[in-house]
A and B are shown apart, each in its own frame.
Chain A
Amino acid sequence: MYHAGVIHLRVPGTLRYRDLAVRVVGSACKLVGATDMDTGPFRINSDWDNQVVSAFGEAFNNAAIHSYSAASKPGDVEIEVDTGPTYITIRLLDFGSSFDPDAVPSPDLDTLPESGLGLFIIRSFMDEVTYAPGSPNVLSMTKHLSPHNRPPQKPRDLKHDNGGGSSRQ
């Protein structure tokens, strides 16, 4: 269903389109906190924007590298970006293999890991993260501008309904 104010983007689920998608999300961050008649506050490279862009980039990597590398055929990634006055919600849908986010261990940063950091970055930088295996698989991420708008901290934010599959980073 079409929702006014939500940005829709559909690109092939390959790394070639990663930069394009990241740029769209980076620009959408500028709309958060703006009025309907405004293009957004003058906020360049703020930590908030950097964190959203970082998390989304990892989510796109996971879809392109893991969901579709294990699938029998390539597919698209659908991205929905909802920018509100105090938050951004990004939904990333893919039609490839599912995975179990709870099966992905947190990295031991003391050992200077070279991989397995993607989900950690997503979980760390976003306030609310959910994953529902599909098809499509739906990763939803929300970040609030103000800490006051964040929901109470849960033991584990990334939840899933069922499923399993290829390992993720």
Chain B
Amino acid sequence: MNYSRKDSGDATILRITGSLDALSTPDLRPTIDELVAEKRPMITVDLSELRLIDSSGVGAIVSLYKRMRAVGCKVEVTGLKDQPLAIFRLLRLDRVFPV
């Protein structure tokens, strides 16, 4: 898993590639904590090059969404396809993150 963060004004793009799973998700947690602490107003999580995700990875993204929402900020997810899309649909996260 690789990820990058790019800020532009109030907007932040968090791009995650590869496999976000139980092994790699802990590496992403500090960045999530930073985004929450900074109260970034609008975060876009770009998953267009995410190959695989498991329940741990989903938990991290949902955690980001819930924590940002609690401080009045927004999170959207873009680029879902293939296996990650199957998981998001099963967990009915397409209600929260329209695909």
What are 11 residue pairs bridging A and B, where the CB atoms are less than 8 Å apart in the complex?
A18-B21, A19-B23, A51-B86, A57-B21, A58-B55, A109-B92, A112-B65, A115-B55, A115-B59, A117-B58, A125-B86
Candidate in A57, A64, A109 with the most chain B CB atoms within 10 angstroms: A57
Whether, in the assembled complex, B63 has its beta carbon less than 8 Å from a beta carbon of chain A, the answer is yes
6 extra interface residue pairs, beta carbon distance < 8 Å, beyond A47-B86, A121-B91: A51-B86, A54-B87, A61-B54, A65-B22, A113-B62, A114-B59
A30–B6 Cα gap in the complex (Å)? Answer: 38
Q: Which of B52, B59, B65, B66 is the one whose CB lies under 8 Å from A22? A: B52
Whether, in the assembled complex, B99 has its beta carbon less than 8 Å from a beta carbon of chain A, the answer is no
Q: Which residues of B contact A65 (CB under 8 A)?
A: 22
Q: Name which residue of chain B comes closest to A119, CB basis.
A: B55
Residue pair B55, A124 in contact (C-beta under 8 Å): no
Whether, in the assembled complex, A142 has its beta carbon less than 8 Å from a beta carbon of chain B, the answer is no
Residue pair A112, B62 in contact (C-beta under 8 Å): yes
Residue pair A169, B96 in contact (C-beta under 8 Å): no
Known: A15-B23, A61-B22, A114-B59. A54 touches B86 (CB 8 A): yes
A113–B63 Cα gap in the complex (Å)? Answer: 9
A16–B21 Cα gap in the complex (Å)? Answer: 11
Q: Which of A54, A58, A64, A117 is the one whose CB lies under 8 Å from B59? A: A117
A134–B31 Cα gap in the complex (Å)? Answer: 40
Whether, in the assembled complex, B48 has its beta carbon less than 8 Å from a beta carbon of chain A, the answer is no
Q: Name which residue of chain A comes closest to B85, CB basis.
A: A50
Q: Which residues of A contact B54 (CB under 8 A)?
A: 54, 57-58, 61, 118
Q: Which of B19, B21, B55, B63 is the one whose CB lies under 8 Å from A169? A: B55
Whether, in the assembled complex, A53 has its beta carbon less than 8 Å from a beta carbon of chain B, the answer is yes
